[in-house]
């Protein structure tokens, strides 16, 4: 029994059966549908009824749910307790056993150490002017009404492709990449239905196109590393002392991760930001003034855009891309005296802290001002990108791309929504607006 969360004063040991089963009413159409329809609301209701430890079922499997500061600390501090090859199996199934997100232990450490240089802040900030140029080009091409979710995906994919990997991805390939990434994330949470999900012709056709495209890049760049972009050379290290040669399949998976890592999550962060900012004119005016004082061309540090930074942090808090995380115990362990047997499922409500009024006043309100000045919050209260050894590797990129898109778009365009959004959320490939289509017109400002 792992003693990581126990102490001499620990309460008597308990099992999953000692905790209440959250059984939602007809509003949620059963546990699985309830989580998909309103993941944050579903679990906040459970916490209000039963406290931060309770049981629920998802895709027919019972799970113990935990949340709060202590839960975040326990999960992130003890990353060796969780088997990510089970909960991230879809990525390994589709892109090889060496794909980062499904690795455990030393294999995960070694892989992450090799990929980290591609996401170092100094490299990303040096690419900021190229990212802005790509964003300007994409926005200028958005004539007439546009579906904002699709626009945000294209913006981010092309910013990474053009500015960091030197790629001009054809539009049909952009659509295929976005489809594959979305379906990978959706398939990962389907439990027993995953195999059928990945056999759908619409997915297999898109994946075949993506694999062929990225495979050609992998072969070209591996054969002539000097021709590869700096972002890829930083992680290649083939032939380095003590490093085995990388297979073409592993290189293909690396390129896929560099190109799409966090694509859906970040696209939805941009989407939520546009919705909230353009429906609060007073804050929009302040952001525009901040960007006019320090335009993207002169931008060198987020310290120069404190209000944009506060906006991004508030959207991450209010609409975190992954509010709930599923874990599987790699060994017997315990949390606060609760026995967690090997192989059992644990649901980590990591974003519970985002909605606790004792941490964030008026937690359901969009108040970016809360992150200005000397405001200080517990270090494990902000959980948008996870934590510990498995924290999202693309966080530095996401926290640069979202501000750059805002700084490029806000001064130049008014976003006129066809209908006012509901601001309600559902579970998709990431936490996304309830509306299936969010149409708007980007009207150039004089």
Structure tokens that stand for 101 in this block:
């997100």
72 part of a folded domain: yes
Q: What pLDDT is recorded for position 27?
A: 47
385 part of a folded domain: yes
Look up the domain containing 380 and give its range: 2-416
Distance CA 273, CA 208 (A): 33
Average pLDDT taken over every residue of the chain: 90
In this predicted structure, the answer to whether residue 30 has a pLDDT above a threshold of 60 is no
Distance CA 270, CA 406 (A): 8
In this predicted structure, the answer to whether residue 210 has a pLDDT above a threshold of 80 is yes
- Higher-confidence position of 138 and 237: 138
440 part of a folded domain: no
pTM for the complete prediction?
0.92
Distance CA 100, CA 258 (A): 11
Residue that is written with structure tokens 């232990």 in the block: 105
The pLDDT tens digits of the residues spanning 391-437 come to: 999 999 999 999 999 999 999 999 999 999 999 999 888 899 999 89
The pLDDT tens digits of the residues spanning 135-192 come to: 999 999 998 899 999 999 999 999 999 999 999 999 999 999 999 999 998 887 777 7
Three-state SS for 99?
A: coil
Q: What pLDDT is recorded for position 11?
A: 64
How far, CA to CA in Å, does 116 sit from each of 100, 120, 158, 210, 433? 11, 7, 21, 24, 31
Q: What pLDDT is recorded for position 6?
A: 47
Total domains, the chain: 1
Distance CA 40, CA 48 (A): 12
Q: Which of 384, 311, 313, 310 is nearest to 352 (CA)?
A: 384
| DSSP secondary structure code for residue 436 in this structure | S
Q: What pLDDT is recorded for position 257?
A: 94
Q: What pLDDT is recorded for position 9?
A: 59
- Residues 6 or more apart whose CB falls under 8 angstroms from that of 414 comprise 278, 442, 443, 445
Query: What mean pLDDT do residues 66-72 have?
Result: 97
389 part of a folded domain: yes
In this predicted structure, the answer to whether residue 333 has a pLDDT above a threshold of 90 is yes
Q: What pLDDT is recorded for position 34?
A: 60
The pLDDT tens digits of the residues spanning 2-29 come to: 545 444 555 678 999 999 999 765 444 4
- Higher-confidence position of 229 and 29: 229
CATH number at residue 346: 1.10.630.10
Q: What pLDDT is recorded for position 237?
A: 62
Distance CA 441, CA 417 (A): 7
Q: What pLDDT is recorded for position 13?
A: 84
Using a CB cutoff of 8 Å and minimum separation of 24, what contacts does 169-178 make?
Answer: 172/209, 173/209, 173/210, 173/213, 175/206, 176/206, 176/207, 176/209, 176/210, 176/213, 177/210, 177/259, 177/260, 177/263, 178/153, 178/154, 178/263
């Amino acid at each position: 029994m792992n003693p990581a969360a126990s102490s001499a004063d620990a309460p008597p040991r308990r099992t999953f059966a000692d905790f209440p089963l959250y059984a939602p009413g007809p509003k949620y159409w059963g546990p699985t549908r309830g989580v998909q329809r309103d993941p944050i609301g579903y679990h906040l209701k459970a916490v209000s009824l039963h406290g931060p430890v309770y049981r629920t079922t998802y895709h027919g499997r019972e799970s113990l749910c935990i949340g709060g500061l202590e839960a975040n600390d326990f999960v992130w501090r003890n990353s060796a307790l969780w088997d990510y090859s089970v909960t991230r199996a879809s990525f390994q199934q589709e892109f090889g056993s060496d794909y980062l997100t499904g690795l455990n232990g030393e294999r995960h450490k070694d892989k992450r150490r090799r990929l980290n240089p591609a996401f170092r802040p100094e490299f990303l900030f040096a690419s900021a002017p190229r990212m802005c140029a790509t964003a300007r080009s994409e926005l200028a091409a958005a004539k007439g009404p546009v579906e904002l979710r699709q626009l945000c995906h294209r913006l981010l994919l092309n910013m990474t492709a053009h500015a960091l990997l030197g790629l001009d991805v054809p539009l049909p390939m952009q659509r295929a990449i976005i489809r594959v990434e979305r379906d990978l994330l959706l398939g990962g949470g389907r439990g027993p239905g995953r195999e059928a999900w990945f056999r759908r012709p619409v997915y297999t056709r898109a994946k075949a196109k993506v694999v062929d495209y990225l495979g050609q890049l992998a072969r070209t760049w591996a054969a002539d590393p000097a021709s590869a972009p700096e972002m890829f050379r930083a992680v290649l290290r083939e032939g380095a002392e003590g490093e085995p040669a990388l297979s073409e399949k592993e290189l293909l998976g690396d390129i896929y991760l560099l190109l799409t890592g966090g694509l859906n999550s970040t696209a939805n962060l941009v989407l939520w930001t546009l919705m909230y900012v353009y429906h609060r004119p007073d804050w929009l005016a302040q952001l525009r003034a901040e960007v006019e004082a320090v335009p993207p061309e002169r931008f060198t540090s987020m310290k120069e855009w404190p209000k944009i930074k506060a906006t991004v942090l508030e959207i991450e808090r209010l609409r975190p891309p992954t509010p709930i995380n599923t874990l599987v115990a790699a060994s017997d362990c315990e949390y606060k005296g609760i026995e967690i047997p090997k192989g059992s499922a644990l649901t980590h409500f990591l974003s519970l802290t985002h909605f606790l009024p004792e941490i964030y006043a008026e937690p359901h309100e969009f108040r970016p001002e809360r992150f200005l000045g000397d405001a200080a919050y517990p270090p494990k209260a902000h959980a948008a990108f996870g934590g510990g050894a498995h924290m999202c590797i693309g966080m530095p990129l996401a926290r640069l791309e979202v501000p750059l898109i805002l700084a490029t778009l806000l001064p130049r365009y008014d976003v006129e929504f066809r209908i006012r959004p509901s601001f309600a959320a559902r579970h998709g490939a990431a936490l996304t607006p309830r509306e299936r289509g969010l149409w708007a017109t980007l009207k150039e400002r004089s």
